[in-house]
Structure 1
């Protein structure tokens, strides 16, 4: 049986900004990794593994310093959902 929990948040203005940035970074990484997956599939006919997505994170954080502002677990969750 599946259950759902509905939660309503009332963040402060500072928390709203932080959540907005975090969601934006997750969306950017999702789109980046989706594009990488599509390109790899078109070239090889195979999908990317979870380890490849996780391996991209350190280099991406070096290339895009604003990705470092987010916690690692958020980016890892995007990786897990992508694979």
Structure 2
């Protein structure tokens, strides 16, 4: 039996800034690699996958231009790549349409943190 809990949080300004960084960084990574995969397919005629993206992400984080990606934990960014990979798998199996770019104005912003999460309940 699976159990799910749903919480409403009221973050402080500092916590809200950290959440917004996570939302923005994961959205950027997802969109960056969706664009990358689309261009590679159009130019070279081949598909790309999670492993290739993860290797490129490591290199991106080392570049000065994208050093701000180090502000959030790497697992969150990797999870964004896994979501994109799953979106492509669903597309190839004709279970969904072509993956869409994520928008900031969309009402539901999410990110996953597979490790390093702590909840304090008062």
- TM-score category (smaller protein): 0.7 to 0.9
TM-score, scaled to structure 2: 0.61
TM-score, scaled to structure 1: 0.86
CA RMSD of aligned residues (A): 1.9
* CA offset digits 1:13-52 (Å, max 9, x no partner): 1100110111111111111101001001112333211101
Could you say which residue in structure 2 is the equivalent of 1:82?
A: 84
Q: Quick check: which has more Rg, 1 or 2? A: 2
Distance in 2 separating the partners of 1:7 and 1:56 = 35
Q: Which has the higher contact order (CA 8 A, sep 6+)?
A: 1
User: Where do 5+ consecutive residues of structure 1 fail to align?
Assistant: none
SS of match in other structure, 2:28: helix
User: Where do 5+ consecutive residues of structure 2 fail to align?
Assistant: 86-122
